[in-house]
Structure 1
Amino acid sequence: MKVAVLGGTGRVGSSFIKYATEQDVQIRALVRDKEKALRLFPQAEILEGNALNREDLSELIKGCDVVFSALNTDKTTTLSTAMPKIIKEMEEAGVDRILTIGTAGILNSRYEQGKYRYETKESKRTKSFAAEEHLKAFISLKNSQLQWTIVCPTHLPDGKRIGKVRSEREYLPKDGKKIGVADTAFFAYRELIESRFLHSRVGISY
């Protein structure tokens, strides 16, 4: 299996690459900072470029079997702008499986029907920009013909894997408060292999 990775130098992205390469999964990562990427995952094939550039995306996806995106928002519209471009390049390359990292804010509210968590008191965040960006990416994927999954963690502290991760399709597990970066990345790797949550958002927490 060969995986095209976006957002690989971030916390979840770099951990995902670590788990994947340990299992001899081939990784091709598109990054803005090649030197940083070489320090984090020298075993991967690294392309320096921009997720908003069609040519860079085409080169990244060509010859890969799956796309993994851990692109975050960084107070920009990069995520929502890039996702339609990623989808288009995947369709042109004949790659139909994509796994992305989202946020628990775009999961369904458990207590207010018809709302997303970020629109309710279930979310502890006071600002909604990041959730709105992830929501736009979700809608783009939902409207595509791809085999997509969005892994939606809640509060993401650093630290080693703990295990005992709970998951629920379209909702955050009840009373879920946090999920570590390492466990989020490992859950995403497992989902890449097992494809248990196709065409779904999946909430994860301890």
Structure 2
Amino acid sequence: MKIALLGGTGRVGQAFVNFLEKDGRHSVYALVRGERADLLKNRCQTLTGNARNQHDTRALIEEADIVVSCLNTDGDDTLSVSVENIINTMNEQNKKRLITIGTAGILNARQDPTLYRFESNESKRRSARAAKEHAQVYEWLRDSSLDWTIICPTYLPEGPAVEKYRVERDFLPLGGKAISTGDTAHFLFAQLESDLYIRKRVGLAY
């Protein structure tokens, strides 16, 4: 399988590349900014560029069977601009499967499922800016024809994969407080050959 990877130099992205290296069955082509290229040196094929640039996104995805995005909000509109590029490119190139990392804030609130968690008292975040951007991405994907999965970890500390955690469609597992970068990457890796959560948000927590 040929994987187009965006956000591969981030915490979850690098942990995901670890799983791909150990597995050895897939070829990976990652889009990296020049100053971050050394983080994936000799670990996978790379294309120097920026996910905000439509040309770079087209070049990355052109030969891919599946697209994986571990991009985050980066403190600005990078996530929404980049995902819009990804969706447009995948439609142009007739590609269907997209797996992205989101946030637990865009899962449904348990007390009122008509709300996102970030809109309810279930969320402890002081600012909703990042969650709103993730919600915009979810709504674009929901309205698209792509076979997407949005993986929605809660508090995300650095840590290895213990490969034992809870998963729930559209909601955060009850009482979930955290999930490591390693286990988030472990679940992401498992979705490469799974259709269990297509067109679903998936909450992850211990």
TM-score higher than 0.5: yes
Equivalent residues in 2 for 1:1-206, closer than 5 Å: 1-24=1-24, 25-33=26-34, 36-206=36-206
Gap runs ≥5 in structure 2: none
Following superposition, the deviation at residue 29 of structure 1 comes to: 0.4
Q: Distance in 2 between matches of 1:41 and 1:154?
A: 29
The 8 Å contact of residues 69 and 100 in structure 1, kept in 2 or not, is answered as yes
Report deviation, 1:54: 1.2
Separation in 2, partners of 1:99, 1:110: 24
SS at match of 2:67: strand
The AA in structure 2 aligned to 1:106 is I
How far 1:39 sits from its partner (Å)?
3.5
- Please give the alpha-carbon distance, in whole angstroms, between the structure 2 residues aligned to 1:176 and 1:11: 20
Equivalent AA in structure 2 for residue 30 of structure 1: L
Distance (Å, rounded) in 2 between the aligned partners of 1:15 and 1:42:
15
List runs of 5+ in structure 1 lacking aligned partners.
none
Amino acid at match of 2:114: G
Contact 1:5 1:28 in 2 (8 A): yes
3-state SS, counterpart of residue 130 of structure 2 = helix
> Aligned partners of 1:39, 1:110: CA distance in 2, in Å?
39
Query: For residues 66-86 of structure 1, what are the alpha-carbon distances to aligned partners after superposition, in whole Å with 9 as ceiling and x for unaligned?
Result: 000011012100111121211
Output one character per residue of 1:86-141: Cα deviation in whole Å (capped at 9) or x when no partner.
Answer: 11111112211000000000000011231000011111111001101101111111
The alpha carbon displacement at 1:41 in A equals 4.8
With 21-30 and 176-185 compared, the bigger mean Cα shift is at 21-30
Letter in 2 for 1:14: Q
Instruction: Give me the whole-angstrom Cα distance separating, in 2, the residues matched to 1:79 and 1:22.
Output: 28
Write the deviation string for residues 35-87 of structure 1: whole angstroms up to 9, x where unpaired: x3334352311001111111101100011100000110121001111212111
Between 77-86 and 55-64, the greater mean CA deviation after superposition: 77-86
- Give RMSD over aligned pairs: 1.2
Deviations 1:144-163 (CA, angstroms, capped at 9, x unpaired): 11000000000001112122
User: TM-score w.r.t. structure 1 length?
Assistant: 0.96
* Percentage identity across paired residues of the two chains: 45
TM-score w.r.t. the length of structure 2 is 0.96
Whether the aligned pair in 2 keeps the contact of 1:3 and 1:67 (CA below 8 Å) is yes
